[in-house]
Structure 1
Amino acid sequence: MQKEVAMITGASSGIGREMAKQLSKQGYELILMARREDRLKQIRAEVNTACEILSVDLSIPEECMNVYEKTKEKNITVLINCAGFGAFGTFTDIPLEKELQMIDVNIKAVHILTNLFLKDFRRKNKGSILNVSSVAGLLPAGPYMAAYYASKSYVTSLTLAIAQELADDKSDVYIGALCPGPVATEFNDVAEVSFGLSSISAKDCASYGLKKMFQKKTIIVPSTLVRLSSSASRLIPRKWVVAVTGNQQKKKNKNNK
């Protein structure tokens, strides 16, 4: 019997790396993607199931298409879109090229891979897609990380819409969005921020996310405090939420220390 395969983007570190390890322990074979091939090779040496690695730049749409063409005949039943990054600064200070690359990775890559693999999953009426968003995707806006917050809002909105379409069709296919708050990963260094709030570990975030994915929960928020905060924000005028979020973002600026 052919083993099931889990495909994970952004698997070279953080949440993606931890999910790869945990899914391997559950018996899944792996297809792992990231730009850093050396990191992927390290993970391949650590897991006990078959593991194919693909060094790709998901900011290039054609590479996303190529990934699908290379892997569409595999028995992929889990797709985790984990690749993504952020950037801190005012909207006009962050280099435009960096923000466009962010949009390509955080939005376009997720959109392309979700679209292509979802068609296969729907045809087989089997499969799970977990899009790694952020608590940022549950808030109206994030000053000083404007494009990042907007990109995660796109991921969350897209996921919710597709989930409803699947429910309307009574499909067994699952899609959900993992929306963590602060997580101790390399994200902070790339975005050049330092969280003032306590972070959960990437291992705990991955474990909770996978557990809820298999329980078919659509919006997954790992931290109780973050769940309460995001729920409370819906009761407050959007303008106030944006102002408070902006003040919190300023505190993350490493240059203020």
Structure 2
Amino acid sequence: MLAMITGASSGIGRDMARELSRRGYDLILVARRRDRLEILQKELKTKVQIIPCDVSKKESCFSLYHQVEDQDIDVFINNAGFGLFGAFEETDLERELELINTNIRAVHILTKLFLRKFIRRDKGHILNVASSAAFLPGPLLSSYYASKSYVLRLSEAVYEELRRRGSHVRISVLCPGPVRTEFDRVADVRFSVKGLSSEAVARYAIEKMLRGKLIITPGAMMKATRFVERFASEKLLLRCCYHMQKRKQS
């Protein structure tokens, strides 16, 4: 069994690598930081191939796929991504474009390439990492929320296409709430509620992915939040989300 993970050098990606290794999977780990990948490689018990790669660059995504296309990959996880905090007119445009390239374009390219490969074999799991942000509007984190909504809707659409063709390929999307990772430092925010541990989220995500669940939402709080959202107007959600995001300001 072989699994490949982008954004594997820290946080949920790193802990999903640990969980899959515990389950006996060999791994292909992808991230920008070779040194962190090498540290993780030494820790894991199964065979690990590391590929330093910046998936924010379109050419790197295609190069990454071509490096592994001859390998019999069973699980592909799109985990690379980051957030950017601030009012939309104030945030740095170049940084936002890098966010879009990482959170959307890379996910789109790699999902398509691995999906085609898996369909030809009629087997394989794809897990795209989104966020509970995908269900909500996101003032003060607008680009991040919008990018995760894209990941959610793309994954849902592909799921239905696969179902209708009777394919044995499975696609899932992980939508956690706050998780204790480096996300808050990179996005320059602090969460106003205590996040779940990255280890618990990774373990839950892998278990549900392997069972073929479409939308994976760890934690009772986020499940309850999704239920309540159905009864709120868009304008009320906007106001609530703004105040929630404002409390995150470092």
Q: TM-score range by the shorter chain?
A: over 0.9
Residue among 18, 35, 54 paired with 1:21: 18
Moved over 4 A (4+): none
1:195-216 Cα deviation digits (max 9, x unpaired)? 0111100000000001110111
Whole-Å separation in 2 of the counterparts to 1:175 and 1:243 = 33
Q: Which runs of 5+ in 1 are unaligned?
A: none
Alignment partner, residue 206 of structure 1: 202
TM norm structure 2: 0.99
1:239 CA drift (Å): 1.2
> Is 1:185–2:181 an aligned residue pair?
yes
Q: 1:37 maps to what in 2?
A: 34
Q: Give 1:230 shift.
A: 1.6
Aligned to 1:216: 212
Aligned to 2:171: 175
Residues in 2 aligned to 1:222 and 1:97: alpha-carbon distance in whole angstroms: 32
> In the TM superposition, what whole-angstrom CA distance separates every residue of 1:115-145 from its partner, at most 9, and x where no partner exists?
0000010111100000000000112x10000
Q: Which residue in the other structure is 2:229 paired with?
A: 233
Give secondary structure in 2 for the equivalent of 1:129. strand
* AA in 1 matched with 2:225: S
Helix, strand or coil for the counterpart of 2:49? strand
User: Does 2:75 match 1:78?
Assistant: yes
Find the residue that maps to 2:127 and give its secondary structure.
strand
Residues in 2 aligned to 1:30 and 1:70: alpha-carbon distance in whole angstroms: 14
Match of 2:119 among 118, 122, 135: 122
Q: Secondary structure at the match of 1:76?
A: coil
CA distance in 2, matches of 1:148, 1:105: 11
Give, in whole Å, the separation in 2 of the partners of 1:49 and 1:101.
33
Structure 2: segments with no counterpart, 5+ residues = none
Deviations 1:151-204 (A, max 9, x none): 000000000000000010111110010000000000000000000111100000
Match for residue 251 of structure 1?
A: 247
- Report the secondary structure of 1:130's partner residue: strand
Deviation at 1:48, TM superposition (A): 1.0
Q: Cα deviation per residue 1:58-114 (whole Å; 9 max; x = unaligned)?
A: 110100000110100001010011100001000011100000000000001100000
CA RMSD for the aligned pairs?
0.6
Counterpart CA distance in 1 for 2:27 and 2:138 is 35
Question: 1:148 aligns to what?
Answer: 144
CA distance in 1, matches of 2:60, 2:227: 37
- Cα distance in structure 2, aligned partners of 1:242 and 1:83: 27
**How many equivalent residue pairs?**
250
AA in 1 matched with 2:89: T
